[in-house]
Chains A and B, each alone.
Chain A
């Protein structure tokens, strides 16, 4: 269990920490991972999110997050209108996602000049979330710490390169997870760090052979 401000708090727009505040966080983390505001988003609600999402404002909360709002933003109930003003097109669908957690949303984001991104995340209560799929690959992170996400070719030496680059930038690794779709296919490294990773280190990683894409999520940064 967290600190006393997880008990007395958060300050949030109602009515539900899991279905509203958590949904805002899912949208927010998706936006941070995408690196910018999507021009087009497709949002899929599953399970309890689909069944009670409308009454809980889950739909509006997810869009609010994609627009960069925090869980206490008073504009959350009006996020559909804000999306129009800010030039973000979106569709909202209910769909059963096999085997997914009851409070799951899937978001596909598009913008000109950048590859499409698809994330799946679920809300675990108290406004906290877990990102569980990134472009079809299973992952598992909360977005509460600095998180480095690297897509690379599944071949020997890639993990060492990443570790070396982080070491050079004096970044301490808190946790590290490695996933892949198949042997020799695409792999994903999720590295949670104690420090914010400087852009120079991200650029260096991105230039290495075998590294496909690098994303850095700073929970206190703005996108």
Chain B
């Protein structure tokens, strides 16, 4: 039975004197009835797939609708030739988030984490850090367990689909997962991982799912940037000793409540929000949808 709360996972960790990621791995091996080595290999494959997916970006390729595709290349050009406001590391994170979002829209291979629409957040944070700071691969795979474990708790208490709970459930969850994972890599303990996740989720709470024409392109690609940068900020706060005054489990419950109250036009129907604007309607008409 997978963890229904952060509290439950934390209790097991304390009882068995194991880190959070290990508690997630042991539970996975048990749940799927596989050896822990097999669980590790599968996670390693997910990690490798993220690295490969990012490498596959082509700056000249656009999606079938023509709406997105070049954003990653534009960000790279700007980053290399100017001085980005967000600085070197964060602008690289932004660039990678855009690339993954574009790859997804252009029908390239990605790792849904937790969904295809939010597939840029986690690799933008983790792969960029891995490449910039030379972290051992094992540590990255452990961080992937942290992310997966947090995502599973969110799935068990709330949801991960935009159609169910709005974009807070997709980009919001991706951001919470990435915040916890990068917090772990930077030496955060289980408490800090929980605070990082909680703060990331709170900052994006209420975010609606309003894709133009129902396509996973506008505003989804750029929201991956929002989710990634928010994850870094939340992790930094947690590492600074700032705490979420509401425990992560209760934040997830609040997210569920907000999602349940969200009007259906704001849950992946392509009707409300950004999708309902005159400019969006024009796009829909032009595409003949």
Contact = CB atoms under 8 A, between A and B. Distances in A.
Q: Do A and B come from one complex?
A: yes
Interface of A: 1, 3-18, 20-21, 48, 51-52, 54-57, 60, 72, 74, 76-77, 125-127
B255 interface: no
Contacts of B32: 3
B214 interface: yes
A48 B289 CA distance: 10
A144 B217 CA distance: 30
A55 B155 CA distance: 27
A125 B152 contact: no
Contacts of A48: 214
B215 A72 contact: no
B49 A14 contact: no
Nearest to A48: B214
B147 A3 contact: no
B280 interface: no
B152 A14 contact: no
Contacts of A18: 163
B111 A8 contact: yes
Given A8-B147, A8-B151, A52-B215, A20 B116 contact: yes
Contacts of A5: 28, 42, 46, 148
A60 B32 CA distance: 32
Interface of B: 2, 24, 28, 31-32, 42-43, 45-46, 49, 63-65, 103-117, 119, 122, 144-145, 147-149, 151-152, 155-156, 160-161, 163, 213-217, 270, 287, 289
Top 4 nearest A-B pairs (CB, nearest first) are A14-B104, A7-B151, A52-B214, A4-B148
Contacts of A56: 215-216
Contact of A15 (B2, B46, B63, B163): B63
Given A56-B216, A126-B161, A13 B109 contact: yes
Nearest to A52: B214
Given A4-B151, A17-B116, A12 B214 contact: no
A11 B216 contact: no
A47 to B, nearest CB: 11
Contacts of B106: 14-15
Contacts of B104: 14-15
A7 B2 CA distance: 12
Contacts of B270: 52
Contact of A3 (B28, B65, B214, B289): B28
Which residue, B65, B163, B214, has most C-beta atoms of chain A within 10 A?
A: B214
Contacts of A52: 213-215, 270, 289
A11 B156 CA distance: 21
Given A7-B151, A55-B289, A125-B163, A13 B108 contact: yes
Contacts of A3: 2, 28, 31-32, 152
Contacts of B287: 55
Contact of B155 (A7, A9, A17): A7
A17 B110 CA distance: 11
A10 B122 CA distance: 14
A9 B155 CA distance: 14
Given A7-B151, A7-B160, A126-B161, A12 B112 contact: yes
A55 B289 CA distance: 9
Contact of A51 (B103, B116, B151, B289): B289
A17 B112 contact: yes
B98 to A, nearest CB: 14
Nearest to A5: B42
Contacts of B105: 14-15
B107 A57 contact: yes
A6 B114 CA distance: 8
Contacts of A11: 45-46, 49, 109-112
